[in-house]
Structure 1
Amino acid sequence: MARDTLDDTPVEGRDALVAYIAEGEKPAEQFRIGTEHEKFAFNLGDLSPVPYEGESGIGAILTGLGEATGWEAITDSGRIIGLAAPEGGGAISIEPGGQFELSGAPLDTLHETCREANGHLVQVREIAERLGIGFLGLGFAPTWTIDEAEKMPKQRYDIMRRHMVKVGTRGLDMMHRTCTIQVNLDFSSEADMVKKMRVGLALQPVATALFANSPFYEGAPNGLRSNRAEVWRDVDAARCGPIPFAFDEGFGYERYVDWALDVPMYFVKRGDKYIEATSHTFRQFMDGKFDKLPGERPTMGDWINHLSTLFPDVRLKRFLEMRGADGGPWGRICALPAFWVGLLYDDGILDQAVAMTEELTAADRQVMVNRVPTDGLMTHVRGRTVAQIAREALALASEGLRRRARATADLPDERTFLTLLEDAAHSSRSPADELIDAYYGAWNKDVRKVFETNAF
């Protein structure tokens, strides 16, 4: 999230929180695609992470981008921490370790998404190269230790750092050494949201396997295909993971809100100040029991900010966020939204995806969550590999994109963006498998070569 909100509308009660989410409903003709992608900034000279400060720091890149684009600066304690495009046209933000993120504008087609991603990467590269900085598309930093990782000066991140060490073992790794690609998608009704949420949760490990792109840890392979996904398994159980209650009978907006109400907050923002709130839930805040603001009740801005601090595999706001993929190169930035749009934006295909995923039990889904970080597409579940499940899902996604028929002068639809994933599913090999082969082969066990092969 690029900017925390200060909406000071009082929260009148639980129903208002439910209504906030329900107001995201849109007719299908207004469905849009919002793609987010992160990348590691590194110094071209010694491949080290880039600090915030200095003439060649993260702050300087943001300043240069702001001058080049005219986008509005987002600041925290007087420092530039992001950029906002006019009229809701997307934003650029920095993650805790200096990872650069583009939160793309809500767009109509995947063709537009790819143009947006390409334009952003060209702009960033133009500014960064002048400063001796490159960008790496990978799911986990391949060489840096946690002590070497830089820390960005954002108040919310300081609060998160203090909290992470209390609730899991890998929270600091998640913050400073991982990158992802995500896509935000719309829903037309509560029933439509539930279908999409369940398909998304069931197939999130399949997406993780297809996009697995982080087999290195501090300079060498460590037996994983998605180190990023493994990290997420022990970050903070209260707010992360596959949220199995989404498959319970009667699940909908209210059940998600009830869960969110009982997750500890990170902060409450008042003016430019972030007040640490990790010892209180949002429900307690609504009851006037947040002792740092005695007797005060939350605003809608507090609720919106709180929703942004929940990290389930599929996150519900006024849209759904698919959160399972490792960061990667340009083609995969386009492929991730293609996979989910194809599955979820045609009612008939969505119903077929629901039927397909209903064959997976809760135990099956958990097996995939547990094993995919290590075994990737070769994970076995219910007598099949995840690669076989991926082929079935991709066949549905391809048909969904064909039915959408979003054409250009050169292409009849958007199916071309699935090609990389189809190749991976049919070969049972993810990008991580290719990287491991290169490490033991052409790279002669020099993991630094990945800064050449996977740089944008």
Structure 2
Amino acid sequence: MARDTTDFRPIENMDELVSYLAAGNKPRDQWRIGTEHEKFPFYVDGHAPVPYGGERGIKALLEGMQRVLGWEPIIDAGHIIGLVEPTGQGAISLEPGGQFELSGAPVETIHQTCREGNAHLAQLREIAEPLGIRFLGLGGSPKWTLAETPRMPKSRYDIMTAYMPKVGTHGLDMMYRTCTIQVNLDFESEADMRRKMQVSLKLQPLSTALFANSPFTEGRPNGLQSWRGENWRDTDNQRAGLLDFCFSPDFGFADYVDWALDVPMYFLIREGRYFDVTHVTFRQFMDGALRNEVPDGLPTMGDWANHLSTLFPDVRLKRFLEMRGADGGPWRRICALPAFWVGLLYDQAALDAAETLTKDWTYADVAAMRDAVPAHGLSTPFHNRTLREVAREVLEISRTGLVNRGRKNRDGYDETSFLAPLDEVVARGTTSAEEMLRAYHTRWGGSIEPVFLEYAY
């Protein structure tokens, strides 16, 4: 998330919280695609992580990008922690360990998403290369220990860092040592949201398998294909993971609100200061629990928006849906991830087909798949076949959806070409993680250092 929200309208009743989500309903001609991707900065000389400060640090990168783009700085306690395009068409933000994130503008086609990603990486290279910095497209930090990983001066991260070890075993690794590619997609109604939420929750573990790209930790193989996916299995199970109530045939906005109300909060922002409120749920906050504890301790719509941004289910509902299952990866994956989901969810025939394919998948089925995928990837057994076989079928549905959309570039090509990296994975039968492991045991000579050349932007 680029910027925490300040919206001082008081919350009068619970219905307003439901209405906040329902305000995301959009007619089809207004549906957009918002792609986010994170990458690890590193020094070319020595492959060390990049700290926040100093002449060649993250702060210098952000200031350089500000000069190139003319975007507005996001300031937290006197520190520049991100940039935002003045009209809200995109933002650059920092994850806790310095992972550099582009939150892309809402665009109409995957062609535009790819052009945006290309432009961002070209601008970033222009600033980063004189500083001796490049960026790594992986799902997990391959070399640095947690102690060696820098910490960004962002107030919400200080609160989360203190809280995470109390609620799970992998929260700090998730925060500081993973990267993702995400896509944010629209819905037209509560019923449309329900269908998309249910299909995408069921298919999110398949996305994790297709994009598995984090087989190394602290300089050696970690025994997994998606170490990032494994981290999400025990980060904070009150606010993350697979949501069983979303599988209900009458799931709606009110059900998500009801769940969110009982998740502990992270913070409140008052007069530019972050207050740690991890000891109360939003429902308790609504009932007056913080009335005398923080200034203006009554809930606002800005507090609700911020709270929704601190929930981490595999598919997150805000005024759009966020697909959160994929590891970070090379440039082609930045285009493949939105293409995969847009093909499945933005064409009616494709959504019908995806819904039919997954209609008998129970919560227990998907939970078991989600548990197995980090280690086994596309070899995960599922309903008497493997996920590789499921992936082949799902990719055909996605391809059909993209063909039906008919969004062509100036050369007359539609969006199906962006699925090519995933077609290659399925045709090979091996994930990017498995290919890296093969290289590690052969031509890399048991060293992970070549990853900083072969997987760098």
TM range (shorter): over 0.9
The reply on whether 1:365 has 2:335 as its aligned counterpart is no
TM-fit CA distance, 1:409: 2.2
Partners of 1:332 and 1:271 lie apart in 2 by: 40
- Residue aligned with 2:3, SS: coil
When the two chains are superposed, the root-mean-square deviation of aligned CA atoms in Å is 0.9
TM-fit CA distance, 1:222: 1.8
Pairing of 1:8-157 with structure 2 (within 5 A): 8-157=8-157
Evaluate the alpha carbon distance shift between residue 97 and residue 295 of structure 1 in structure 2; reply closer, same or farther with a 3 A threshold.
closer
Alignment check: 8 A CA contact 1:331 1:420 kept: yes
| 2:426 maps to amino acid | A
TM-fit CA distance, 1:113: 0.1
| 2:42 maps to amino acid | F
Pairing of 1:341-380 with structure 2 (within 5 A): 341-380=342-381
TM-fit CA distance, 1:364: 1.5
TM-score (norm 1): 0.99
- Residue aligned with 1:87, SS: coil
The reply on whether 1:319 has 2:291 as its aligned counterpart is no
Alignment check: 8 A CA contact 1:288 1:295 kept: no
- Residue aligned with 1:349, SS: helix
Pairing of 1:301-320 with structure 2 (within 5 A): 301-320=302-321
TM-fit CA distance, 1:368: 1.0
1:430 corresponds in structure 2 to: 431
Evaluate the alpha carbon distance shift between residue 212 and residue 8 of structure 1 in structure 2; reply closer, same or farther with a 3 A threshold.
same
TM-fit CA distance, 1:121: 0.5
- 1:152-191: per-residue Cα shift (whole Å, max 9, x none)? 0011000000000100111110010000000000000000
| 1:91 maps to amino acid | A
Alignment check: 8 A CA contact 2:270 2:295 kept: no
| 1:335 maps to amino acid | A
- Residue aligned with 1:111, SS: helix
| 1:84 maps to amino acid | V
The reply on whether 1:207 has 2:207 as its aligned counterpart is yes
Partners of 1:426 and 1:14 lie apart in 2 by: 50
Partners of 2:250 and 2:287 lie apart in 1 by: 26
- Residue aligned with 2:183, SS: strand
Partners of 2:109 and 2:188 lie apart in 1 by: 18
| 1:430 maps to amino acid | T
TM-fit CA distance, 1:248: 1.7
Partners of 1:345 and 1:294 lie apart in 2 by: 44
Alignment check: 8 A CA contact 1:31 1:187 kept: yes
- 1:50-102: per-residue Cα shift (whole Å, max 9, x none)? 10010001000000000111000000011100000121110000000000000
- 1:242-264: per-residue Cα shift (whole Å, max 9, x none)? 11110023210000000000000
- Residue aligned with 1:96, SS: coil
Partners of 1:266 and 1:455 lie apart in 2 by: 34
Partners of 1:448 and 1:113 lie apart in 2 by: 30
| 1:216 maps to amino acid | F
| 2:310 maps to amino acid | T
Provide runs of 4+ in structure 1 moved above 6 Å: none
**Runs of 5+ in structure 1 lacking a partner?**
none
1:338 corresponds in structure 2 to: 339
2:329 corresponds in structure 1 to: 328
TM-fit CA distance, 1:347: 1.3
Partners of 1:249 and 1:352 lie apart in 2 by: 17
Pairing of 1:361-400 with structure 2 (within 5 A): 361-400=362-401
TM-fit CA distance, 1:295: 7.9
Alignment check: 8 A CA contact 1:167 1:236 kept: yes
Partners of 2:428 and 2:208 lie apart in 1 by: 16
**Runs of 5+ in structure 2 lacking a partner?**
none
Partners of 1:38 and 1:411 lie apart in 2 by: 30
